[in-house]
Amino acid sequence: MPIQRLSIIGVGLLGGSIGMAVKSVLSGCEVVGYGHRKETLERAVAVGAIDRGEGDLAKAVEGADLIILCTPVGLLANMLNGISGSVKGGAIVTDVGSTKASVVGDAGKILKGKAAFIGSHPMAGSEKRGVEFARADLFRNALCIMTPTAETDPSVLEQVEAFWRLIGMRTCRMSPEAHDRALAEVSHLPHALAAALVTMQSPEALELAGKGFLDTTRIAGGDGGLWRDIFQDNAPNVRAALARLRGLLDDFERLLDLAKGEELRQWLDAAAARRQALLQEKLREITPD
């Protein structure tokens, strides 16, 4: 797919970084950014994230070959409705949301017969927000999860995968439902836990917080509104993950009995070994041969 016009809907950290990355590798592609605040669009142009800003959603996608929705998860259905009447024939639409089943379902209905949709989840970002933190290399070596369904046109999937690879990402494929189950475990529940850990501290305990505590709770620094959307959209999976965690905390508490010392050591060592193996695997993944 030769992309001559790319529309980025929502020019924050992720949208802005996509624009910068595209402009660093593709020449002859116009990058149009949509946002509802004029100042944000002007800043996005100034930092080189987009070529031009557009405050009208329908106009922002006119003539675009690829449209990437980069708004908070809770706004994606609105955005799909807002663009469905003005996408050009043959256009491909994707998104960068942290939950996938609902947006894939919505897009299937809203864009039916108008444009092709494939869900993407580029796993990059930071607890910072806004185009002023955007970077052309934000996505480099990170994983982008593609979530095709039985209805997905394989060539659309391949074209969007090729796009993410073009800006330096690795890609993998899984169903929207499997994605949401896995992300509840590895991302959404950990965020809630980090928030709970910060909240439960007495002032005396917080005084003593060291580097370990700051690392453990780093992800709790994210924006509450964005995360509220994610939790609401993925609530059943988050509840299931929370139930599994509660079971493990019950196990841990039982092992605090003095007589269970050897079992407790094994439980802790097994977790340490699993994390160590994960770390080695991740280091291999992001280290080019």
Stretch 166-225 residues interacting with a copy of itself (CB under 8 A): 172, 174, 178, 181-183, 185-187, 189-190, 192-202, 204-210, 212-225
**Near a copy of itself in 91-110, by CB under 8 A:** none
Neighbouring-strand partners of residue 31: 6
CA 226-230-236 angle, to 5 degrees, is 160
* Spatial separation of the C-alpha atoms in residues 143 and 34, rounded to whole Å: 25
* Spatial separation of the C-alpha atoms in residues 62 and 91, rounded to whole Å: 10
**Near a copy of itself in 240-259, by CB under 8 A:** 241-242, 244-246, 248-249, 252-253, 256, 258
Between 155 and 266, name the residue whose CB sits nearer to a copy of itself.
266
Between 59 and 128, name the residue whose CB sits nearer to a copy of itself.
128
Q: Which two structure tokens, joined as six digits, stand for 154?
A: 């394989």
Determine, following the binding rule CB under 8 A, whether residue 270 of this chain makes contact with a copy of itself: yes
Between 2 and 224, name the residue whose CB sits nearer to a copy of itself.
224
Q: Which two structure tokens, joined as six digits, stand for 24?
A: 């660093």
Between 43 and 181, name the residue whose CB sits nearer to a copy of itself.
181
Element (H, E) at 53: strand 52-54
Full strand arrangement of the beta sheet holding 143-147: 119-122, 143-147, 170-173
Q: How far is CA 209 from CA 101, 194, 200, in A?
A: 38, 14, 13
Q: How far is the CB of 255 from a copy of itself (least distance, A)?
A: 8
Between 1 and 194, name the residue whose CB sits nearer to a copy of itself.
194
* Spatial separation of the C-alpha atoms in residues 157 and 81, rounded to whole Å: 22
Q: Could you tell me which stretch among 77-85, 87-95, 159-167, 278-286 binds a copy of itself (CB under 8 A)?
A: 278-286
Q: How far is CA 131 from CA 42, 58, 168, in A?
A: 10, 22, 19
* Spatial separation of the C-alpha atoms in residues 115 and 104, rounded to whole Å: 13
Report the SS3 class of residue 279: helix
Between 59 and 265, name the residue whose CB sits nearer to a copy of itself.
265
CB 222 within 8 A of CB 127: yes
**Near a copy of itself in 39-78, by CB under 8 A:** none
Residue from 47, 58, 77, 123 binding a copy of itself (CB under 8 A):
123
Q: How far is the CB of 262 from a copy of itself (least distance, A)?
A: 8
Residue from 25, 46, 162, 278 binding a copy of itself (CB under 8 A):
278
Q: How far is the CB of 73 from a copy of itself (least distance, A)?
A: 12
Binding residues for a copy of itself, total number by CB under 8 A = 83
**Near a copy of itself in 131-170, by CB under 8 A:** 142-143, 145
Work out the angle between the directed axes of helices 13-25 and 38-46 (0-180°, nearest 10).
Answer: 30
Determine, following the binding rule CB under 8 A, whether residue 284 of this chain makes contact with a copy of itself: no
Q: Could you tell me which stretch among 4-12, 58-66, 89-97, 123-131 binds a copy of itself (CB under 8 A)?
A: 123-131
Q: Could you tell me which stretch among 11-19, 84-92, 132-140, 227-235 binds a copy of itself (CB under 8 A)?
A: 227-235
DSSP 200: H
Q: Which two structure tokens, joined as six digits, stand for 23?
A: 């402009």
